[in-house]
Chains A and B, each alone.
Chain A
Amino acid sequence: MSKQKKPAKIGVYVCHCGTNISHTVDVEKVREWASKSLDGEGVVIARDYKFMCSSPGQELIENDIKELGLDRVVVAACSPHLHELTFRNASKRAGLNPYLTELASIREQVSWVHTDKEAATEKAKAVVTGAVERVIENEPLEELKVSIHPDTLVVGGGIAGIQAALEIANAGKKVWLVEREASIGGHMAQFDKTFPTLDCAACILTPRMFEAGNHPNIELMTWSEVTNVAGYVGNFSVTIKKKPRYLKEELCTGCRICVEKCPKKIVDQGYEAGIGYRKAIYTSSAQAVPKYPVIDTENCNFFQKGACKICEKSCPTNAIDYEQKEAFLTVEVGNIILATGYDLFDARKVSNYGYGRLPNVFTSIEFERMCNAAGPTSGDIVLRDGKTTPKTVGIIHCVGSRDRNYNNYCSNICCMQSLKFAHLVKERTGATVYDFYIDMRTPMKAYDEFYQRVLEEGTLFVRGKVAQVTDAARKASEEGKLMVQVEDTLIGKQRRIPVDMVILSIGMEPRHDAKETGKLFGIGCSANGWFTEKHTKLDPISTMTEGIFIAGTATGPKDIPTSVAQGSAAAARVLNMIMRGEVTLEPIKASVYQGQCSGCRICNSLCPFNAITFLEDRKVSEINPALCQGCGTCVAACPAGAISGTGFSNDQILAQIDGLLMDVTLADA
């Protein structure tokens, strides 16, 4: 505290947050500390209030600014993530530059993580002192304004991405819809029926696919991937790689004669989930959008052995082009929606269920294809031999989900999916169905009614986690059956139930490359690998990076209605940005003092937002203020100390540390 400080008039406002803070922190003591012990630092008023973020709470602050002429404000409440903006706006309304208001987090970092009231109160005092010392060093800052480009990029053409693209396109704005696969539709296009209404998935999805594929405002880019993202909110510059289909789309009529004639038949691990076949030139299904086939070079006789060319010979419009190369194009967009979806859990990991070893153990996605009238069995439910109808079927919930060995979370859709399967098996085969569940979770609209219906249909429910599925018979009556070993927790007994077929309800997992995707777009993933929302409840479709939105199962397991709603919600946020035309950026930015920069370029590669460029001619680095998100990484990394940040200058940080380390026990008399 030896440093000559600027004289300041500071108001300190301590929030109870109902009992969230006051339960663990003695709020009155913190207020008293601020008013009695920090008056030397310039604190002229300290107040506490039950809900500082409520209207009356904010008015307290505004009135004090106006009447006492405060020139600095510290609010001791929740995390800046939640309410920094709220209190900065309050200051702004009262005529104070918003960047002269600091939020001291005594909820997330104190009351929510401690139980010892006395120690927590001491810590809260220290945190408040740190914020007071820091705010003295704060400078008034002016916000930047940037314009918003009216085009939007949607990544992922599943139901969430399609929905988002259609909403924006129907509002008259242009959308680039980029899909990695050859057709849009995502996982939903593989399904047979959808719970709880038993609508056919194709019947409700294909019209949307068609609409998206033919919309004048949608530039559909299938078989394409985003490879680079530069720029910032309102002004992204995105590079898209268009993989070669090996045919000229402008000539192809989608007649599929090439597909029929192709002599190479292979197991389709994609759309048909490994229980059906496709050709080396193929479309995922007859309903594919766009209708153009793709050549799978790994399995094509011509690409592998140099001979065949039957597709070229049979094409009536000469559309086949073996020479086609990948193409790159760069598009300018203002906002980006990521609807990149999910991967399925690999059931082979749960080796005690025998998937991959025991032929008549199927996964839920295999079963979806089996039920589908357009699938490999034309909708017949049969064993792996392709002809025998099972007389007894066991369905196992939570495979890979809610299990500390695999994924600890609930996959949200498996209960309803399993119930749907139970109904379909009963309806189509009349087989006895055993449904093995841990807990039955049917909380959405009309879901529990569907559960009641399946109960009434006579499916036999066994509450217990299945230990093992085995073909090792213990007695003659078990020969040739799959034995399901399970503890029935409702009767408290071990049971061995013989079945002909087992269906594993496999859970959802983040995309295997979700982390790389997150890095590409500058957003984070949770510990489980799902994209992280800005706020799980109040802002579930925004991210920490302005202008990047997320929708659908990319943020966690969810059902179709929720994915659709999120697609629409993300579109609404984007349209809101477009309508505003410009957006203000936080002025919390780093900048390089070029006289001190040695051009070592350490900061260049560290910046998570690619905001730093190296000026070759002058051999110094420069930070683009529009790209900089003020994270401070470069400031900490610069060996010459040439980078400093507005809003987090060395003076501010050191003053805050001084405050944090001040002996706060003094005034406790």
Chain B
Amino acid sequence: MSDYIFYPGCAMESNAKAYYDSLMEIAQPLGINLQEIDDWNCCGATEYVGINLIPAYSLIARNLALAAKMGHKTIISPCSACYLNLAKADYYMAERPSLGEKVNEALAAGDLQYTPGSLDIRHLLDVLINDIGLDKLKEKVVRPLKGLKVAPYMGCMVPRPDYHNRWSDAEHPTELFDVLKAIGAEVVDFPGAATCCGGHMTQIGPETAYELIRRLISSAEKSKADIMVTVCPMCQLNVDAYQGETNSHFGTNYNMPIVFFSQLVGLALGFPPEKLGFGSEVTSTEKALAQIGVDIPESAIAEGKKRQQEGLPMPLCMRKTTTSESKHAEEAKA
């Protein structure tokens, strides 16, 4: 067993619960001992760094400071956005000493301190390939995923900007391809492997996001993939949960499931699908898994949660006024 510091990030507790569950199952047989950072906080996702640098980096560095006290050097981050943020903070605190000083000033308020370079910040996929090794992974496979056509979708944030030359290539990384091959899946040609899923554009410019999602799904469909595989909660959420919106926006009829690579690794290692978070996805994986004779029990399929109405109602969100409302307003002005 090798010990690693583990930074789950918020998504692993909510929309990417399947990622967390499957990782917890496969960690033991692969010899990964994950020690979660006590009292970790959100990394600020993709937005905060663009808004206010010092607080954003202080938010990230707080996790690094807590991790650095844990006595190991390597910290695993399975979420791409978290991984990139941790790596960014570590890199730029060293590159721009004034930033490092200010961030440490902020950390000092909580009796914390972080020296850049004191941790190895690694993505789960990188640890699986370069520490555990594909040979060991192959050894552990009891149910090769023969006959399942997968599109390897790495996303844009892991292989770029690659501060420490850990990845094979920024545009066409081969890592995910290699892992899926090792567990016996049939990996299809997927040219968009490192392109963007739209990220948070779903919130601020949905049409841009829909187009990016459409490109990914249509490319996977064209290569006759049964299922897309990702390493990133954001990618999974966009392609999975926004597939309906994308379909209605373009008048298409896509039905492309997308899961985390750890879920497929779990299947190959022989775990039952209900332990790996299958069934929690919006676009059903049933048909894809049937290709390899895996059946998802009814009980695992998530039901639409009802919002619990407690306490006082919330005010409505700010929305663009509809045309009829704005007409009224203009008339009122006149």
Q: What is A's interface to B at a CB cutoff of 8 Å? A: 351-352, 357, 468, 470-474
Contact = CB atoms under 8 A, between A and B. Distances in A.
A351 B215 contact: no
Contacts of B172: 351, 357
B171 A473 contact: no
A352 B171 contact: yes
Contacts of A474: 215, 218
Contacts of B131: none
B191 A471 contact: yes
B172 to A, nearest CB: 5
Given A472-B215, A473-B222, A351 B169 contact: yes
A489 B194 CA distance: 25
10 contacts: A351-B171, A351-B172, A352-B171, A357-B172, A470-B191, A471-B191, A472-B191, A472-B192, A473-B219, A474-B218
B239 to A, nearest CB: 15
A468 B215 CA distance: 16
Interface of B: 169-172, 191-192, 215, 218-219, 222
A361 to B, nearest CB: 13
A470 B191 CA distance: 7
A386 B151 CA distance: 30
B62 to A, nearest CB: 34
A651 B39 CA distance: 67
A61 to B, nearest CB: 51
Contacts of B222: 473
B251 to A, nearest CB: 14
Lowest 7 CB-CB distances: which A-B pairs, in order? A472-B191, A351-B171, A352-B171, A351-B169, A351-B172, A472-B219, A472-B192
Nearest to B211: A474
Contacts of A473: 219, 222
A357 B171 CA distance: 12
Nearest to B172: A351
B91 to A, nearest CB: 18
Contact of A351 (B170, B218, B219): B170
B133 to A, nearest CB: 25
Contacts of B218: 474
Nearest to A353: B171
Contacts of A352: 171
A471 B215 CA distance: 12
A25 to B, nearest CB: 34
Contacts of B170: 351
A470 B172 CA distance: 11
B192 to A, nearest CB: 5
B147 to A, nearest CB: 25
A230 B254 CA distance: 73
Residue among A351, A471, A472 with max Cβ neighbours from chain B (10 Å): A472
Contacts of A471: 191
Contacts of B169: 351
A470 B170 CA distance: 15
A357 B190 CA distance: 12
Nearest to A349: B169
Contacts of B215: 472, 474
A352 B169 CA distance: 10
A472 B218 CA distance: 9
A101 to B, nearest CB: 48
Contacts of A351: 169-172
B225 to A, nearest CB: 13
Nearest to B193: A472
Contacts of A470: 191
A336 B219 CA distance: 59
A468 B195 CA distance: 12
Contacts of B191: 470-472
A472 B194 CA distance: 12
A352 B170 CA distance: 9
A471 B192 CA distance: 10
A559 B172 CA distance: 34
B208 to A, nearest CB: 14
A278 B215 CA distance: 43
A178 to B, nearest CB: 38
A289 to B, nearest CB: 41
Nearest to A356: B172
Contacts of B192: 472
A470 B169 CA distance: 16
A496 to B, nearest CB: 12
Nearest to A483: B191
B175 to A, nearest CB: 14
Nearest to A472: B191
A468 B218 CA distance: 19
A474 B172 CA distance: 18
B178 to A, nearest CB: 16
A634 to B, nearest CB: 39
A57 B88 CA distance: 59
A472 B171 CA distance: 13
Nearest to A471: B191
B216 to A, nearest CB: 9
Nearest to A358: B191
A468 B192 CA distance: 12
A470 B222 CA distance: 15
A489 B215 CA distance: 25
A473 B218 CA distance: 9
A54 B228 CA distance: 76
Nearest to A405: B170
A351 B194 CA distance: 12
Nearest to B169: A351
Given A351-B171, A474-B218, 15 more contacts: A351-B169, A351-B170, A351-B172, A352-B171, A357-B172, A468-B171, A470-B191, A471-B191, A472-B191, A472-B192, A472-B215, A472-B219, A473-B219, A473-B222, A474-B215
